[in-house]
Amino acid sequence: MSVMLSAASCLRWAVRLVGAPDEAALVGQAERLDDAARRDAPIFLPYLSGERTPHNDPAAQGAFVGLAHGTDRSSIGYAVLEGVAFGLADGVAALRAAGTELGVLSLVGGGARSAAWGQLVADVLGTLLETHEGGETGAALGAARLGHLACGGSEPEVCGRPPVARRFEPSAAAGALLAPRLERFRRLYRSLAPLWREGGA
């Protein structure tokens, strides 16, 4: 299992931070950035509540690295979307290292509402990604299904796969542009983790 403690909640936090009207508006601004602006965006470490997979590090903290005078709301928004995608990539890497074979992945929760974010995650992971009807409430639906099973519901009836809403094919070109930033993201965690554990960040 891979667990990320802050994902869509990072976007809600960023909306408050930069004074955007809402999540959709911030994602829309980020989506309009060109490749050069995305390469120049800061790197965001999404550890607003510590992190579980793969670090198991409650001391981890969120961080922006690479802020400059040209950093604006759009680039902050993009950095947050990308940082969460990179965190998911770390979780997928941990699963693969443990011998798990992954095929098509499903994106659920609040982030599943955003096609731009779904495509970014697919590009970072290099994996076909699907969203499902009602998937934005996936966690609540999962809890309801468990409750129904506990009350005697049958597994085939309760645990059917919901219909696919969208598919995101990974782009090899986009993945190649993202790979150096993913490596920098990983180096930044390794560099900052000792400071967080000392309480000095």
- Cα 39 off chain centre by: 18
Look at residue 11 in the predicted model and tell me its pLDDT: 94
The whole-number average pLDDT for the span 122-138 is 87
Q: How far apart are CA 82 and CA 43, in angstroms?
A: 8
Q: What is the mean pLDDT of residues 88-100?
A: 94
**pLDDT at residue 87, rounded to an integer:** 96
**C-alpha–C-alpha distance, residues 143 and 53, integer Å:** 22
What's the pLDDT score for residue 47?
Answer: 96
Q: Compute the average pLDDT of residues 186-199.
A: 93
| CA dihedral of 101, 3, 171, 65, whole degrees rounded to 10 | -140
Listed by start position, the domains of the chain span: 8-198
Q: What is the pLDDT of residue 160?
A: 78
Eight-class DSSP state of 159 = S
What would the pLDDT profile of 34-52 be if each residue is shown by its tens digit? 999 999 999 999 999 999 9
Rounded-to-integer distance, Cα 179 and Cα 62, Å: 21
Q: Quick one: pLDDT at residue 128? A: 95
**Are the C-beta atoms of residues 179 and 89 closer than 8 Å to each other?**
no
Q: What's the mean pLDDT in 106-119?
A: 86
Q: What is the pLDDT of residues 51-81, one digit of tens each?
A: 999 999 999 999 999 999 999 999 999 999 9
- How large is the average pLDDT for residues 172-190? 97
- Answer yes or no: are the C-beta atoms of 66 and 43 closer than 8 Å: yes
| Cα–Cα dist 125/133, whole Å | 22
Look at the chain and count its residues. 201
3-state secondary structure of 103: coil
Q: Under a CB-based contact definition with an 8 Å cutoff, are residues 145 and 159 in contact?
A: yes
Report how far residue 155's alpha carbon sits from residue 158's, in angstroms, rounded to the nearest whole number: 5
CATH class of the region 8-198: alpha beta
